[in-house]
Amino acid sequence: MVNTLLTDYVLPLAFIIVAPLLGGLLVGLDRKITARMQSRMGPPITQPFYDFIKLWGKAPFLSSRFQPMLAVGYFVFIFTAVIMLAFKQDLLLTLFTLTLADVCLIVSAYNSKSPYSNLGGRRELLSMLAYEPLMLLTAISIQVVTGSFLVRDVFTYGKPLLLVIPAAYAVQQLVLIIDMKKSPFDVAGSGHAHQELVRGVYTEFSGYTLALVELGHWTKIAFIMGLISLFWAQNLLIGVGLSLLLWFISIVADNIYPRLNWETMVRTSWTLGFILILANFVVVTILGVI
């Protein structure tokens, strides 16, 4: 009884509350590790939180009266997706909610008639075009294997997903690189200390709206980490390890690769995504695992 209370309510709630902070810490760690890779010292791990508080205190400049609402929308919808993931709800619906969040961001970028912002918004749409098929294919893979889209059924499946659909796990690497806005696929607006189209999709954000978008970005990273952890749902510590592995590889890739263009991003994601996952289906069906 206490056990189910723990797994069904306490832990999910804890994850929900902690998710944005966790994401922020990951961003801070990311900057630290990147710095160390570049033989620098790097900022403290809590740097993103200082950034957030500072941004919140800036005098507010807006690009339009809709911007606060759209920035809030970006964060709230990603947060809703996290809530759904934590309570083991429908994965496909969760992905559609993320689309909702992204559309908020993109509309806000388009809303200010600014060349950099508009191009950034356009590139954000293209990033969505690159990783949305991958996410959909992952959800379909999970559904084919476990029989439903519910995250709950991943936990009761019995076998770690990594052993059945490793291609979906591999493909998450691409998703993570695009969503963390890391080279080679940071065409829409890069992380700190990099510029692309000035700040790309984030150009016209400032002050508290940027703080909200940052918060949303952290929550999104936490979400994807949570998603990747599902690949070893039987032992979540291993699952978290798996997600941290991909996260670390993204940081390495960021330091090695230059920024590539959007055509390469879409082409690579689609080719790798479709071929790997469909091949996985073939292998798994022949081996009779499903």
Distance CA(110)–CA(106), nearest Å, equals 6
Taking CB under 8 A as the rule, does residue 185 contact other proteins?
A: no
Distance CA(124)–CA(101), nearest Å, equals 12
Cβ neighbours of residue 118 closer than 8 Å, sequence gap 6 or more: 109, 110
Taking CB under 8 A as the rule, does residue 207 contact other proteins?
A: yes
Site for other proteins in 225-264 (CB under 8 A): none
Phi, psi of 150 (to 5 degrees): -75, 135
Taking CB under 8 A as the rule, does residue 218 contact other proteins?
A: no
Q: Which range touches other proteins (CB under 8 A), out of 122-130, 163-171, 234-242, 252-260?
A: 122-130
Under rule CB under 8 A, how many of the chain's residues touch other proteins? 98
Taking CB under 8 A as the rule, does residue 15 contact other proteins?
A: no
Phi, psi of 195 (to 5 degrees): -125, 140
Site for other proteins in 39-58 (CB under 8 A): 39-44, 47, 49-55, 57-58
Cβ neighbours of residue 60 closer than 8 Å, sequence gap 6 or more: 206, 207, 208, 209
The residue (of 146 and 173) whose beta carbon lies closer to other proteins is 146
CA distances to 71, 81, 120, 121, 143 from 113, rounded to whole Å, are 17, 30, 12, 11, 42
Taking CB under 8 A as the rule, does residue 172 contact other proteins?
A: no
Least separation, in Å, of the C-beta of 175 and other proteins?
13
Taking CB under 8 A as the rule, does residue 31 contact other proteins?
A: yes
Distance CA(86)–CA(218), nearest Å, equals 16
Q: Which helix (H) or strand (E) holds 94?
A: helix 91-111
Site for other proteins in 89-118 (CB under 8 A): 89-93, 96-97, 99-100, 103, 106-107, 109-118
Least separation, in Å, of the C-beta of 120 and other proteins?
11
The residue (of 192 and 244) whose beta carbon lies closer to other proteins is 192
